[in-house]
Amino acid sequence: MRFLHTMLRVGDLAASFNFYVDILGMRLLRQQDFPDGRFTLVFLGYTDEASGTVLELTHNWDTQDYDLGNGYGHIAIGVEDVYAAANKIKAAGGKIVREAGPMLHGQTVLAFVEDPDGYKIELLSIDA
């Protein structure tokens, strides 16, 4: 068994696509529209689906936004340098909601960025 993907529902597919591709550097793996169901699925990742876990964006055409609730935590992405990645994301227009630095009760360096729908993404050193 292995993880295949994580799915997020997004209100503005173009804004989310641009965030994950242009700002976080993922690539489009596949996309499919389902006109009868009025939704689109977009699969993005840093590797192909056969090699690793990917992100599925689900856009329900008639829904503009979602209540994130209080159960969602975050997605974690491994980066070479948390400080450099956070600065690059900020320079590209991404919203940093927790600046890069050591966690409060430990040594792990991390940062948090927020996507256009308010989902949090944690940046961690690949060796963390």
Q: Which region holds residue 118: left if phi is over 0, alpha if psi is between -120 and 50, else beta?
A: left
80 among known catalytic residues: no
56, 99, 114, 122: the catalytic one is 122
The two tokens of residue 93 are 């227009």
Q: Give the separation between CA 15 and CA 111, rounded to whole angstroms.
A: 21
Q: Give the separation between CA 98 and CA 6, rounded to whole angstroms.
A: 22
Residue from 117, 28, 115, 29 nearest 67 by CA: 117
Active site residues: 122
